[in-house]
Amino acid sequence: MENLLPAAPGPMARFVGRLRRALRRPLPGYRDYQALLRGKRGLEVGGPSKLFRRDLPIYRVVGGLDGVNFSASTVWQGRIDEGRPYVYLKGLNGRTGRQFICDATDLGRLPAASYDFVLSCNNLEHIANPLKAVGEWLRLIRPGGCLLLVLPRRESNFDRHREITAWPHLLEDLARDIDEHDQTHVEEILERHDYTATPETPDRASLRARALRNFENRCLHHHVFDLPLIEQVNAHFGLQTLLRSETSSDWITLARKPGAAP
């Protein structure tokens, strides 16, 4: 698969980036998230994620974490292998789990109620049938376990000119069992995409070419979320939203599945 990311930054840009990350403080209230996940075993869909290392430092406190990605080759992670270590923390205190390769809406290989929590960061918007995905993730969570969702704010990225997805549309996608071959939103995306934010797809022709290969690359944002829509997703599954946060780029919720906490 071709590299769809912008060119790598130079040494000085990388140094400045590392310095800024080192000086950045975690999000207000991050200890509340840590308290709910400390010592617990979970699964991350579409990771690993920089946000969970520093801004919302979950990785350092969990008891264990496996990862699942849709392909052995992704734009974000490069080459990954089934069964190999899922490295979610690097360095002297590095931590690893097990890497799985399967679609986020079809995790049937993993047993029900096998995890205390599921993490998903900037991932659900890439899934054509988000309610089907969330239902599958909840199948893996024990009663009383938690689902932590992070979704991008449209004003922070190339979706800034798109409308928030309507709740009935998500229900319709679920009822129709929409899969990842879906191209429903391509014309809307081509019309409203902020091309100044994506130098790798600077015009309609390049974005259309990538969109037509979306089943392979999963780069499309099928849907656009705001906090009320995320809350509707949680409520649809009978989840209790315990924590809510926002950054300049993301919406964050942590919700609990009904039942006794693990």
* Confidence (pLDDT) at 3: 32
Indicate the pairing of strand 250-256 with strand 240-246: antiparallel
Can you give the residue range of the structural domain that contains 245?
Answer: 13-154+224-256
CA distance 5 to 25: 27
Asked, for residue 92, whether it belongs to a domain, the answer is: yes
Q: What is the pLDDT of residues 10-27, one digit of tens each?
A: 666 666 656 565 567 899
Nearest to 82 by CA among 103, 104, 65, 99: 99
* Confidence (pLDDT) at 74: 87
Q: What is the pTM of this model?
A: 0.89
Asked, for residue 112, whether it belongs to a domain, the answer is: yes
Contacts of 161 (CB under 8 A, 6+ apart): 192, 193, 194
Lowest-confidence pick of 14-18, 76-80, 95-99, 140-144: 14-18
Share of the chain above pLDDT 90, in %: 81
CATH of the domain at 25: 3.40.50.150
Asked, for residue 185, whether it belongs to a domain, the answer is: no
Asked, for residue 124, whether it belongs to a domain, the answer is: yes
pLDDT at 44 over 80: yes
Asked, for residue 64, whether it belongs to a domain, the answer is: yes
Quote the distance between the C-alpha of residue 164 and its chain's center: 17
Q: Specify the number of domains making up the chain.
A: 1
